[in-house]
Structure 1
Amino acid sequence: AELDARRIADNPFTLGVASGDPQPTSVLLWTRLAPAPYEPGGGLPRQRVTVQWEVAHDARFRRVARRGTVTAHPEFSHTVHVEADHLLPGRTYWFRFRTGSWISETGRTRTAPQPVSRPGSLTLAAVSCQAYHDGYFTAYKHLAQDDVDVVFHLGDYLYEYAVNAVGGARNYTDRTLPAHFNKETKTLEDYRLRYALYKHDPDLRAAHAAHPFVVTWDDHETENNYADDISENDDPPAEFLLRRAAAYRAYWENQPLRRAQLPSGPDLQLYRRLTWGRLAQFDILDTRQYRSDQAYGDKAHVPGPESDDPARSITGATQERWLLDGWQRSNALWNVVPQQVAFSERRLDLNARAKLSMDAWDGYRASRNRVLAGAEAAGVDNLMVLTGDVHVAYAFDIKDDFDDPSSKNVGTEIVTTSVASGKDGADKPANWDTLTKANPHMKFYNGRRGYVTVTLDRDSALADYKTVPMITKPGAPISTAASFVTEAGNPGLHPA
């Protein structure tokens, strides 16, 4: 049955608008109808709703480029995913939705340049790890005002943990969150409601309305430190896959993802490739869904036969082959890999045989060696890995041999800090001295909240690490904590 949209009494566009995965002639537009976002079902009956959309060359919609009608289905919690096509390459567009008498806020998006073109530059932002209960999304408030072409979200968009009535560290005094948020997410309804809580945040809404996002997940969108069908607490795999299916479906529903990413049960192919003319190729990875179980448990451990077993993989064989094949065919100057967990070696102590993170690429060194060998074989001169997960900012030179500090640099890794996870943080975390001494290829380490912008051009890449001094109270200013540059054809980060 269809709901007459004129009967929707309250604004259904409470969760804002978003766009994503820009291609040369198309972009994905997203919204969700939810007049009561914190209620199961979003405050709508289980009926279809007709939604109109339009894309324009200007913010006042005087020159409309494309328009159409789409159905918001209750089976997909009244989310809308429009693949707006027949657009012009390398352009900025504005978009909005309408249903009944309600009109959404206006979003701004852009298309990628033509595949054969050589754009002068591209500015991207990288964000990750936004635990709602750890503080305000102040970083997004600033990012919404920043001049970037595209935002890469590197995972932990959502956390499965309980959020109490005052929003944890946000310490709300002007509102009380419903009790159903105060439990871990396990069911489809749990995950859907949690996305509503997050997406209702005004700073996150502002960032989505301002820029197209390219998203990938890490673990917390489903459950901490899971690996393929193995849960953190070793639940029976069949049981965990039901939870994973719920998490993956809610993820697709609530993100600006194309139909190609629509999940089938507990499976969703999130790894995909985007290009920015011949300036950059982006190979977006998924290092959760197909990985071998972490060696020696999930915690830090000295590497050994179990972690270094060449049969183990962090990407799975199919995705690894897809990545290396894509590099063989790449004609881009910069080959950028947006992904989740630390790629470079990260020694956690000063012992000769140091402990490493078994959840990161350090726990899958055979995977890393195969990927770096594949980059070399493909002649990738300008490899840049974008990383989240660790709630701190790092700048790494990727070494040919991490045991030899004088070995050549084969790429760079830009690790963005968290938007919120870890509360206010500190410029120098407690282990700053140890990690700085233990990792000479680490050029920067900062533990505040924030994000990174990277400007790629034909000569170099400039990374600006943006931080805010606090997030447990709203309204903090943003500043640039450090800037690094790496030259095209000569990898290695230097202070800018």
Structure 2
Amino acid sequence: MPVSRRTLIIGSVAAGAAGATLPGTAASASGGPLRTDPFTLGVASGDPDHDGFVLWTRLAPQPLAEDGLGGMPNRPVAVHWELAADERFRHVVRRGVALARPQAAHSVHVELNGLPPGREFFYRFKADRYVSPVGRTRTAPAPWALGGALAMAFVSCSQYEHGYFTAYGRLAEEEPDLVLHLGDYQYEYTKDTYNIPGGNPRDHEGPETETLANYRQRHAQYKADADLQAAHAAAPWLVVWDDHEVDNNWADEVPENTQPNFLARRAAAFQAYWENMPLRRTSIPRGIDMQLYRRIHWGRLATFHMLDTRQYRSDQGCGDGYKECPAAYDPARSITGAEQEAWLLDGFRRSSARWDVLGQQVFFAQRDNNAGPATVTSQDAWDGYAASRDRITRGWLAAGVRNPIVLTGDVHAHWASDLKLDYADPTSRTVGAELVCSSITSTGDGADSDPTTHPFMAINPHLRFYNNQRGYVSTKIRADRLDADFKVVPYVTTPGAPVHTRASYTVEDRVPGLHQTYLRPLG
């Protein structure tokens, strides 16, 4: 199949998109050659569709430089890129040159289209005499095609100080087709601020992230981790943020604690997030605003509605934490904002996918921690915006969504839940399923336990599974069912842990709710 030559290169936030330039005709960047390897942060790809994706890298020979610029000279640097049909690059199907500019911390976003659907590709970059690691990516199936099974994994909450990113490395070994990161990709704290029992095995560099230089340095420290680099290189990613990419428990323009400089901090965090993620040019930030919610189609098999539950939400009605809060039921309050909610409901109505998947941040199902008549729930999750949750749930029912699935991060533990219209009535019909991934490292090793002993399980019978070890969730999405394996590593405070499946669940086509297919014995 012939390959179209249409290519968009995104060189920097300041410059926007720059045209592709073939080798031999690239505009030269002034200055001498680089003296050390600039590809210390690895490579990544993201936002795949049926004819393309984004390729990413960032040049940083000194990733922990305090100014956040990675030890790069203050000038543009030409970066050659290649896309091939094979890992040895014997069959190169596209190549070009992008300028890595200091205004964007020498990050490069190569936005490709015109490629054949449903294909695996390999990519790499070159700057001066240095060549990057090779990344693996793929296009989605054609819009009209159901396609084969999709191997999709999702992750969240990787606090660098709390442990080693072994789970990312184990995920990379699975070579999935797609990875979703649901938030808390990095944390804002300075060292010795957020500690686990026994002490943190690693430390953050630099102060708490408040300036653009701080956020750039912190992203670079995380990206320099070999296990994280392996996970990025293994498959295309879909990313959305939660709170710690900016500051704990922020809500739109309201920080958790009073900060006169919060909007400047938010803008800096958004800029650094763009620079360090494989995002399309539609997500280039404009000051304190960044378009992050978006929709990705995997043929007719699945549509991923990637949500942003931070940038537009109403402030928490009764503060953070577990509380009985009448404001949670106020229909004027929203966790998505009116515009994003309308976009999501319209997407439900237009969907012809077999599976509609919400990739989002915070717990969706109700989690009441009070065994009495009062309803006491987390005000930072959808429980704090119950009217908003009700509108979304009724929206997918009204639209006749065939198989609604909610994917969640944030809570540093594995959970699985049936979704209800009326959580007060355990016998009410199930209208969907929620899968919640544990953290990669946040809160340290954790511990295994009998899921049925967690007090939430008795109070909330729609909750089906719980585990407090670190890990991720691997899924296989087919036309007739979705299979989910809750993967765990026994420790993260030292490197090299093995991985195993703690439990497995299946959702069958047109049968809302979860069916347990495997539970590993305790111990």
TM > 0.5 between the two? yes
Give me the whole-angstrom Cα distance separating, in 2, the residues matched to 1:351 and 1:269. Answer: 42
Q: Hey, what does 2:21 align to over in structure 1?
A: none
Deviation at 1:171, TM superposition (A): 3.1
Q: Is the 8 A contact 1:136 1:170 kept in 2?
A: no
Superposition misfits of 4+ residues, deviation over 6 angstroms: none
**2:201 paired with 1:171:** yes
Q: Hey, what does 1:205 align to over in structure 2?
A: 229
Q: Is the 8 A contact 2:454 2:466 kept in 1?
A: no
Q: Hey, what does 2:378 align to over in structure 1?
A: 357
Deviation at 1:428, TM superposition (A): 3.0
1:130 counterpart SS class? coil
Deviation at 1:120, TM superposition (A): 2.7
Relative to structure 1, is the Cα distance of residues 164 and 355 closer, same or farther in structure 2, using a 3 angstrom cutoff?
closer
Q: Hey, what does 1:244 align to over in structure 2?
A: 266
Q: Hey, what does 2:85 align to over in structure 1?
A: 57
Q: Hey, what does 1:23 align to over in structure 2?
A: 49
Q: Hey, what does 2:12 align to over in structure 1?
A: none
Q: Is the 8 A contact 1:29 1:256 kept in 2?
A: yes
Deviations, residues 376-423 of structure 1 (Å, cap 9, x unaligned): 110013100000000001000001211111111110000000001010
Deviations, residues 20-52 of structure 1 (Å, cap 9, x unaligned): 001111110000011111113111111000000
Deviations, residues 207-251 of structure 1 (Å, cap 9, x unaligned): 001111100000000000000000010324xx3111000000000
Deviation at 1:354, TM superposition (A): 3.0
2:339 counterpart SS class? helix
Q: Which amino acid aligns with 1:21?
A: D
Q: Is the 8 A contact 2:64 2:221 kept in 1?
A: yes
Give me the whole-angstrom Cα distance separating, in 1, the residues matched to 2:390 and 2:509. Answer: 23
What aligned pairs does 1:26-425 form with structure 2 within 5 A after superposition?
A: 26-39=52-65, 40=67, 41-163=69-191, 171=201, 181-236=205-260, 239-304=261-326, 306-425=327-446
Deviation at 1:202, TM superposition (A): 0.4
Deviation at 1:332, TM superposition (A): 0.2
Give me the whole-angstrom Cα distance separating, in 2, the residues matched to 1:448 and 1:412. Answer: 21
Q: Which amino acid aligns with 1:18?
A: A
Deviation at 1:494, TM superposition (A): 1.0
Q: Which amino acid aligns with 1:48?
A: P
Deviation at 1:429, TM superposition (A): 9.1
Deviation at 1:351, TM superposition (A): 2.1
TM-score (structure 2 length as normaliser): 0.90
Give me the whole-angstrom Cα distance separating, in 2, the residues matched to 1:329 and 1:307. Answer: 29
1:307 counterpart SS class? helix
Give me the whole-angstrom Cα distance separating, in 1, the residues matched to 2:404 and 2:135. Answer: 32
Q: Which amino acid aligns with 1:329?
A: R
2:378 counterpart SS class? coil
Give me the whole-angstrom Cα distance separating, in 2, the residues matched to 1:144 and 1:229. Answer: 36
Give me the whole-angstrom Cα distance separating, in 2, the residues matched to 1:20 and 1:45. Answer: 27
Q: Which amino acid aligns with 2:223?
A: K
1:21 counterpart SS class? strand
Deviation at 1:4, TM superposition (A): 5.2
Give me the whole-angstrom Cα distance separating, in 2, the residues matched to 1:123 and 1:439. Answer: 30
How many residues end up aligned between the 2 structures? 486
Deviation at 1:454, TM superposition (A): 1.4
**Gapped runs of 5+ residues in structure 2?**
1-26, 518-523
Give me the whole-angstrom Cα distance separating, in 2, the residues matched to 1:433 and 1:17. Answer: 40
Deviation at 1:6, TM superposition (A): 5.8
Give me the whole-angstrom Cα distance separating, in 2, the residues matched to 1:64 and 1:57. Answer: 6
Q: Is the 8 A contact 2:363 2:408 kept in 1?
A: yes
Give me the whole-angstrom Cα distance separating, in 2, the residues matched to 1:131 and 1:429. Answer: 26
**2:478 paired with 1:457:** yes
Q: Hey, what does 2:504 align to over in structure 1?
A: 483
What aligned pairs does 1:443-454 form with structure 2 within 5 A after superposition?
A: 443-454=464-475
Give me the whole-angstrom Cα distance separating, in 1, the residues matched to 2:79 and 2:272. Answer: 20
Q: Is the 8 A contact 2:79 2:127 kept in 1?
A: yes
Give me the whole-angstrom Cα distance separating, in 2, the residues matched to 1:7 and 1:21. Answer: 32
TM-score (structure 1 length as normaliser): 0.95
2:476 counterpart SS class? strand
Give me the whole-angstrom Cα distance separating, in 2, the residues matched to 1:387 and 1:45. Answer: 40
Give me the whole-angstrom Cα distance separating, in 1, the residues matched to 2:192 and 2:163. Answer: 13
Give me the whole-angstrom Cα distance separating, in 2, the residues matched to 1:153 and 1:468. Answer: 18
Deviation at 1:2, TM superposition (A): 6.6
Relative to structure 1, is the Cα distance of residues 68 and 2 closer, same or farther in structure 2, using a 3 angstrom cutoff?
closer
Deviations, residues 99-143 of structure 1 (Å, cap 9, x unaligned): 110100000001111010011311110100000000000100100
Give me the identity figure in percent: 52
Give me the whole-angstrom Cα distance separating, in 1, the residues matched to 2:446 and 2:102. Answer: 40
Deviations, residues 78-119 of structure 1 (Å, cap 9, x unaligned): 000001222110111000000110100000001111010011
Give me the whole-angstrom Cα distance separating, in 2, the residues matched to 1:27 and 1:380. Answer: 27
Q: Is the 8 A contact 2:30 2:75 kept in 1?
A: no
2:263 counterpart SS class? helix
